[in-house]
Amino acid sequence: MENNLSNIKKLLNDLEKYCTKKAKLYDVENLAGPQGKVLYYLYKNKDKKIFVKDIEKKFDMTKSVTSNLLKRMEKNNFIEIIPSKKDKRYKQVVLTSYAENKIPNLLLFTADVHSVLGKDISKDDWLITKKVLKQLAENILKEENSDV
């Protein structure tokens, strides 16, 4: 099992380096990770009002992690946070025009990475991989919850 864990760590490290390198080519350096996921989520749901709490739930993040992520995104000019006029506790998260202009490159970047990763891998093997990764995550979660 130790060798498998080493292989997983190496894969994750290689994937991170590869995505960072590719992201620069597509001019989406800050969007290869969580910021990109949130940006894509906001883009796909631009016809809806999305609030900070929605992002917390969607990405299963704590309040502080979400807050820090959104502050970085606001600093990078990807989003605007608009307090509700009725209730200041509710803050709507809106894409900026700068972020919307990045979407085509983000989509191309994502398609390129998926194409490279999926090369010569059958649909059945992808399904098995997805199942195994899900089971690994569930095993970790069960173990973490049993320690409480």
What's the gap between Cα 7 and its chain centre? Answer: 23
Collect the ranges in the chain with pLDDT lower than 50: none
Give me 68's structure tokens.
Answer: 């820090």
Give the pLDDT of residue 79.
Answer: 96
Mean pLDDT (the chain) is 92
The pLDDT tens digits of the residues spanning 135-146 come to 998 999 898 888
The pLDDT tens digits of the residues spanning 100-110 come to 999 999 999 99
Backbone angles phi, psi at 126, to 5 degrees: -65, -40
Nearest CA among 39, 7, 9 for reference residue 23: 39
The pLDDT tens digits of the residues spanning 46-64 come to 899 999 999 999 999 999 9
Give the pLDDT of residue 2.
Answer: 63
Give the pLDDT of residue 146.
Answer: 83
| pLDDT cut 90: percent of the chain above it | 78
